[in-house]
Chain A
Amino acid sequence: MSPELLLVQALNGLQFGILLFLVAAGLTLVFGVMDFINLAHGVQYMLGAYFGASLAAATGSFWLGLLLALPAALLAGLVLEFLVFRHLYDRDHLAQVLATFGVILFLNEGVKLVWGAAPLQMPIPALLEGGVALMPGLQYPIYRLGIIGAGLATALLLWFLVDRTRAGMLVRAGATNPEMVSALGVDIRRLFTLVFGFGAMLAGFAGVMAAPILSVEPGMGDTPLILAFVVIVIGGIGSIRGAFVAALLVGLIDTLGRAAMPDLMRLFLAPSPARQAGAAIASMLVYILMAAFLAFRPAGLFPVRTG
């Protein structure tokens, strides 16, 4: 692989990792604070993409679409919390898995009913169209750089909220020791709702930003969801910092693996089997990474919960 291609793939990996981080951040908070396993977090990403695409089409503006999609995603998250999730906090993980699985079935089908089975497109805004020359003869899409920038800014904002505000302090305390936070007289339910809505909005934001470069279709949230789980396991449940590092790691390894593995296999195999074996191994890489973490560092990169 040439150095130019490597650079492009590394940027792609970074951009993918940033999107994963936005999905994983909400998931890991919900998880850490509420000990609630929410499989439906992926459909919140999908809803964000659908809201963004359809609102952008309706208003004729990417920016208006983005701006309106965020409260829409927040609202969708709060409605789900009110109708379903709220009744599951006291139940075991098995019940949570199944009920949120039911939400996925409903919404994956629901978007088909509303928007049809065909993929939607969301245009790239004029401001971010085209490419920028990274080096002579090597163009990279500005929009993808925009995603990286917006994601980093969001990560910074998140760090500020969690690390520097009172609500953030409660969230961190809740992730470390939920009983204590209840005992302090904090309305834990309201904190839950807050965290939930915020997590849904982050996932929705990731969905809107991904919409112009991916096809917006039913089930598009499933893969990010599962990769977000991998990210959380590697990063340590409840840790925003862990989710950030792990998301970039997973994004880079997945993207670079897919690009490089077939070439790497060429060293040992004939071209055709090399392509196949390379593709198979590349798709397994992040899971192998996760397994390695579990074997050697079961609590993840940045363990949060103590005792």
Chain B
Amino acid sequence: MREWVVPLVLFAGLAAAPFAGFGEGYALTLLARTMILGMAAVGLALLVGGAGLVSLGHAATLGVGAYAVVVLDANGITDATTVLPVAIAAAALFALATGAISLRTSGVHFIMITLAFGQMAFFTASSLAAYGGDDGYTLFSRTEVAGTRLLEDRLAFHYVCLGLLGLTYLFCRAALAARFGRVLRAARENALRVRAVGLDPYPYRLLAYVLAGAIGGLAGVLLANAAEFVAPSYLSWQRSGELLFMVILGGLGSLHGAILGALAYVLLEEWLSHLTEHWRMIFGPLLILSVLFFRGGLAGLLAPRQRR
């Protein structure tokens, strides 16, 4: 039961936030950003924390999802029943194609290759002149749900994001605790051991990569809707690095850590950027220090001390 306390408090807090003093437009925008990045970070945590696969190109899956919204929008298609499946499938396919190659390698190779594929997606987005190229693309309208403009209501959008984040979290958590996740976790600790009981880690890792990609695609749809604007910078490798930072900041041991990490990241970014235009000069060293000295992450800080 204890391992449910922190996530329950976290989700309850997000659900209550609009009625607890964070109901204004600006606060809701920040919260939506937190939940969307948190969703992508949960998917990445499935890869990094669960399967031990450090992807430095995860932002590309968000970008593919967001650009799917753009392409459909440019063709006048905005209904969620089309947009969501298309965007998620596009991101999953991208993950399948790049993952099938990347996963042939491991360790440092894997990091570099995911980075390179992410960069490939970034340059491709920049070259899409029909969709704004470097300058990005402003959506004609947000995605419609059941023919209504539900998502234009900030409060409704808040709860849509929250609901989808909750589903994502529950699914990833269940998958990690199920047979599938056991293979991933075991292969993270010792791939040879897994092979020596008769299981090839590759298909499991590939599916995890595709799942994380699909989740990234979903987050990309929401991100496009939140901003009503999509630009190649969504796919930049800095964004991938930030997502990785959220996962680590939250703590590798748990999936809700990724959401905590996203929350901390968005708040930190917000606070520092009010302090100074050059906030990254503070943020960078903070990142370094957290890597060097803050190994358990936020979730580790909140977890009841039990093992070790």
A residues near B (Cβ < 8 Å) are 31, 35, 37, 39, 84, 87-88, 91, 93-95, 97-99, 101-110, 112-113, 222, 226, 229-230, 232-233, 237, 275-276, 279-280, 283-284, 287, 290-291, 294-295, 298
Contact = CB atoms under 8 A, between A and B. Distances in A.
B18 interface: no
Contact of B116 (A108, A113, A287): A287
Contacts of B288: 84, 99, 102-103, 106
Given A101-B241, A298-B105, 16 more contacts: A87-B292, A93-B108, A94-B54, A97-B111, A98-B287, A102-B285, A105-B284, A226-B116, A229-B115, A233-B109, A233-B112, A233-B113, A276-B129, A283-B124, A283-B126, A284-B120
Given A37-B108, A233-B109, A295-B101, A283 B278 contact: no
A276 B128 CA distance: 7
Contacts of B292: 87-88, 99
B291 A98 contact: yes
* Closest 5 pairs (CB-CB, A-B): A106-B284, A102-B287, A105-B284, A283-B123, A109-B280
Nearest to A292: B101
B252 to A, nearest CB: 8
Contacts of A39: 241
B277 to A, nearest CB: 9
Contacts of B168: none
Interface string B94-111: 000000011011011101
Contacts of B241: 39, 97-98, 101
A226 B291 contact: no
B284 A103 contact: yes
Given A102-B288, A106-B280, A290 B127 contact: no
B119 interface: yes
B278 A98 contact: no
Interface of B: 48, 54, 56, 101-102, 104-105, 107-109, 111-113, 115-117, 119-120, 123-124, 126-130, 237-238, 241, 244-245, 248, 278-281, 283-288, 291-292
A287 B115 contact: no
5 contacts: A94-B48, A105-B238, A105-B283, A109-B280, A284-B120
A113 B291 contact: no
A110 B281 contact: yes
A113 B278 contact: yes
A232 B115 CA distance: 13
B293 to A, nearest CB: 10
Nearest to B279: A109
Nearest to B285: A106
Contact of A226 (B119, B280, B283): B119
A95 B291 CA distance: 6
A218 to B, nearest CB: 10
User: Among A104, A237, A287, which residue has the most Cβ atoms of chain B within 10 A?
Assistant: A287
Contact of B105 (A108, A279, A294): A294
Contacts of B283: 102, 105-106
A282 to B, nearest CB: 8
B104 A298 contact: yes
A285 to B, nearest CB: 9
A280 B284 CA distance: 32
Contacts of B280: 105-106, 108-109
A280 B245 CA distance: 30
Contacts of A103: 284, 288
A293 B107 CA distance: 17
A262 to B, nearest CB: 11
Contact of B130 (A102, A276, A298): A276
B120 A287 contact: yes
A226 B281 contact: no
Contacts of A98: 241, 244-245, 248, 287, 291
Contacts of B281: 105-106, 109-110, 113
A105 B272 CA distance: 14
Contact of A37 (B111, B279, B287): B111
A31 B108 contact: yes
